[in-house]
């Protein structure tokens, strides 16, 4: 717990005193007041996250955590657990959607084994940070111990620190893990809080019968682990996944270093929710890249009053939404930095 406390203590709210100068500059750009809408809000947020009225763009990185889930044995996914290591190999070979989009936006991609059941022999380029070979079945008991959850969080923190030292200016989250929408839905239900039905969807494409089974599995997990759901860390350990804990740590570590984070989709947002429950001011450093088509993500945004950057009916995960939204954030910052002001361009302002 002492390790976690020191991680949380490093996170402070953004300096809101800069906002007046930031907004004044945006209002003086050669455009009608507020005409770039949400893009202006994104630029202002990036400035505040970076702690400056003169923001600089830099390297972009997406960290994709992979882990397996014992709850997959309950038939909650349309795909077998073997797909997790297969997709890790695919990512390392450059053939996954996240590889294409990371290349497209010019972002580094780091693939991290934090909890894959397979040993992943011969996997070149993999960051080997395995805490445990998959979580335990949350429908019969806790996914992991508190100590294992803290270890996984520390992995993410260390990776965030490494990114900051490498000059990364935009950090994106990603994940791969068959059945991971199940622990994510359980975390939403417990931490929002809300009913399981409101935050449980079809994941990889399950039919009606499997969806009803998935809902019952999550309800059973909440009941079985009810005595452990007393604070965010214990809830993460009881219901979460290794990759979810890793993403939570990445977010906490990045916030401590004032590195803006693009949270990917449904699973990454569950990790962000844990991070925000651990330290509220973490939200000052987060962009939520898109609203997933996975049922429940919209519930999360509505309940927490958060506006995502994009809404493209995506639900792949991997970091794909984060990659796409990076370009929007960069465009917003370039507008802030590169547009002329009314004075510099000699353009008349609005009539009084």
Q: 245 and 158 in contact (C-beta within 8 Å)?
A: no
Catalytic residue among 148, 175, 198, 318: 318
Inter-CA distances, 14 with 17, 46, 75, 317, Å:
9, 10, 44, 28
Distance CA 197, CA 172 (A): 29
Distance CA 273, CA 222 (A): 17
> Which strand ranges, in their side-by-side order, compose the sheet holding 127-128?
127-128, 108-115, 59-67, 168-176, 261-263, 286-288
Q: 176 and 240 in contact (C-beta within 8 Å)?
A: no
Active site (annotated) includes residue 318: yes
Question: Left (φ > 0), alpha (ψ -120 to 50) or beta: where does 106 sit?
Answer: left
Beta bridge partner(s), residue 112: 65, 127
Beta bridge partner(s), residue 171: 61, 261
Q: 67 and 242 in contact (C-beta within 8 Å)?
A: yes
Distance CA 329, CA 13 (A): 20
Distance CA 149, CA 155 (A): 10
Give catalytic residue positions.
318
């Amino acid at each position: 717990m002492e390790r976690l406390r020191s991680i949380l203590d490093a996170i402070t709210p953004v300096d809101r005193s800069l906002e007046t100068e930031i907004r004044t500059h945006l209002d003086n750009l050669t455009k009608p007041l507020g005409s770039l809408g949400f893009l202006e809000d994104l630029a202002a947020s990036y400035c505040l996250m970076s702690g400056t009225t003169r923001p600089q763009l830099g390297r972009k990185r997406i960290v994709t955590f992979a882990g397996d889930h014992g709850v997959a044995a309950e038939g909650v996914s349309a795909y077998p657990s073997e797909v997790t290591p297969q997709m890790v190999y695919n990512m390392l070979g450059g053939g996954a959607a996240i590889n294409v989009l990371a290349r497209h936006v010019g972002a580094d991609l780091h693939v991290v084994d934090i909890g894959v059941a397979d040993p992943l022999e011969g996997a070149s380029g993999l960051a080997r940070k395995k805490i445990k070979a998959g979580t335990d079945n949350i429908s019969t008991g806790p996914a992991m111990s508190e100590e294992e959850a803290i270890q996984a969080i520390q992995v993410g923190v260390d990776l965030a620190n490494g990114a900051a030292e490498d000059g990364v200016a935009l950090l994106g989250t990603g994940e791969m893990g068959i059945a991971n929408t199940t622990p994510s839905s359980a975390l939403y239900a417990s931490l929002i809080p809300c009913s399981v039905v409101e935050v449980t969807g079809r994941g990889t494409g399950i039919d009606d019968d499997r969806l009803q089974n998935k809902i019952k599995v999550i309800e059973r997990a909440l009941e079985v682990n009810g005595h452990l759901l007393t604070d965010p860390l214990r809830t993460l350990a009881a219901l979460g996944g290794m990759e979810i804990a890793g993403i939570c740590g990445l977010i906490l570590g990045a916030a401590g270093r004032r590195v803006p984070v693009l949270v990917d989709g449904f699973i990454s947002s569950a990790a962000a929710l844990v991070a925000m429950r651990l330290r509220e001011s973490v939200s000052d450093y987060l962009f939520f890249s898109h609203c997933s088509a996975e049922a429940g993500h919209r519930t999360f945004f509505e309940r927490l009053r958060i506006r995502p950057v994009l809404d493209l009916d995506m639900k792949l995960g991997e970091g794909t939404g984060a990659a796409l939204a990076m370009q929007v954030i960069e465009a917003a910052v370039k507008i802030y930095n590169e547009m002329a002001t009314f004075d510099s361009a000699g353009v008349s302002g609005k009539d009084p």
